[in-house]
């Protein structure tokens, strides 16, 4: 009995040492990510919050010389900005439109390439290719496509108008202005986003579709369920976690839209396509008012945090169901 107790103590000590070693190894694996988050998220958020409390100006705002403390005025002046509320409403409008189209298109493409076939791999690859382009590059590409000078649409319309005039069907020529009005600018930019990101959401939803057990579909077929009933009562409920994840990514990305509108519209026409991030850019680098820009950034961050918290809660609820 006296020899068994030390043996148990030695075994317990070895297990404790092995556990601590695994924890230490895990910590060192996670250390690069921790450093990245601290350097590129936590510290910038702290600096932005600090700038939002002072009357900072571009190129003159430093920690030793932060400027006048302007904590309430920076936030209270945001609502009085002429572009703030139009930017909020336009960003929400764009977010709703882009989310509906991206989720709908992604689900349609996922259902199209769900089953194996001769051309399925080709279709999947072709749908994913636009995602390989950077957003600024894709925006510049579409700017050329939409351009009346170098784009293909207006020469095509000129040819059709000329033919229609010769046949007596058309009495006056017309041109397509993709970015000349608020509605066409919004739709044209949304087309770009759907073209680029539909394949990405297709993959997310395709993974969710392939995770649904085949036995469920077989049971529904035996019970005489139609395709629509199967899709409505089986596919959609079991696909809710993937749809919720897609909505989180899509809504967050749409609320932070900048590149596509900066390249295509520059906020025009008449500042009708200014997003919240464009407003932050204008306040910081054009009006050189870092304090107001930082205040808008904090407001957007808080709104995104609350919105994502609600969506993650819904995602957990869907997974539990």
Q: What is the pLDDT of residue 284?
A: 87
Q: Return the number of other C-beta atoms located less than 10 Å from residue 69's C-beta.
A: 12
- The token pair that represents 26 in the structure block: 């895990």
Helices and strands per DSSP (H, E), number in the chain: 15, 0
Q: What is the pLDDT of residue 227?
A: 86
Q: Structural domain of residue 310, as residue ranges?
A: 78-142+182-320
Residues of the chain with pLDDT under 70: 1-16, 59-68, 116, 157-175, 314-321
pLDDT tens column, 39-53: 999 999 998 888 888
Indicate the SS3 state at residue 14. helix
Query: Which DSSP state fits 117?
Result: -
Domain assignment present for residue 58? The answer is: no
Domain assignment present for residue 119? The answer is: yes
Q: 115 burial class (0-12, 13-18, 19+ CB within 10 angstroms)?
A: exposed
Name the residue among 273, 103, 255, 92 with its Cα closest to residue 179.
273
What's the whole-model pTM score?
0.84
Q: What is the pLDDT of residue 260?
A: 93
Our count of domains for the chain comes to 1
Task: State the Cα–Cα distance between residues 233 and 220, nearest whole angstrom.
Answer: 10
Domain assignment present for residue 186? The answer is: yes
Domain assignment present for residue 70? The answer is: no
Q: What is the pLDDT of residue 93?
A: 95
Domain assignment present for residue 4? The answer is: no
Domain assignment present for residue 147? The answer is: no
pLDDT tens column, 217-247: 888 888 888 888 888 888 888 898 889 889 9
Taking a C-beta distance cutoff of 8 angstroms, is the pair 84, 180 a contact?
Answer: no
Q: What is the pLDDT of residue 226?
A: 85
Domain assignment present for residue 260? The answer is: yes
Task: State the Cα–Cα distance between residues 3 and 15, nearest whole angstrom.
Answer: 19
Beta-ladder partners of 289:
57
Domain assignment present for residue 209? The answer is: yes
Task: Report the CATH number at residue 106.
Answer: 1.10.3720.10
């Amino acid at each position: 009995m006296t020899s068994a107790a030390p043996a148990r103590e030695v075994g317990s000590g070895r297990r404790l040492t092995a556990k601590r070693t695994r924890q230490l190894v895990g910590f060192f694996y996670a250390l690069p990510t921790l450093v990245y988050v601290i350097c590129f998220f936590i510290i910038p958020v702290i600096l932005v919050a600090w700038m939002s409390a002072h009357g900072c100006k571009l190129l003159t705002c430093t920690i030793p010389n932060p400027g006048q403390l302007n904590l309430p005025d920076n936030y209270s002046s945001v609502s009085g900005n002429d572009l703030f509320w139009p930017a909020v409403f336009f960003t929400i409008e764009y977010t709703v439109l882009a989310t509906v189209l991206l989720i709908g298109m992604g689900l349609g493409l996922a259902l199209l390439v769900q089953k194996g076939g001769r051309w399925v791999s080709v279709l999947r690859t072709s749908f994913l290719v636009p995602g390989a382009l950077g957003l600024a590059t894709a925006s510049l590409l579409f700017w050329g496509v939409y351009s009346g000078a170098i784009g293909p649409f207006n020469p095509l319309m000129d040819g059709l108008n000329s033919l229609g005039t010769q046949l007596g069907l058309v009495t006056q020529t017309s041109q397509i202005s993709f970015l000349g009005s608020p509605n066409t600018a919004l739709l044209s930019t949304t087309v770009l986003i759907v073209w680029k990101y539909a394949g990405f959401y297709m993959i997310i939803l395709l993974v969710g579709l392939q995770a649904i057990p085949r036995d469920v579909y077989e049971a529904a077929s035996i019970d005489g369920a139609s395709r629509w009933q199967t899709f409505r009562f089986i596919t959609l409920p079991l696909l809710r976690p993937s749809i919720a994840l897609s909505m989180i990514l899509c809504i967050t990305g749409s609320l932070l839209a900048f590149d596509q509108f900066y390249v295509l519209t520059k906020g025009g026409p008449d500042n009708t396509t200014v997003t919240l991030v464009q407003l932050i850019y204008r306040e910081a680098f054009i009006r050189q008012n870092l304090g107001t820009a930082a205040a808008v950034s904090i407001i957007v961050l808080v709104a995104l945090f609350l919105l994502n918290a609600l969506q993650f809660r819904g995602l957990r609820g869907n997974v539990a169901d």
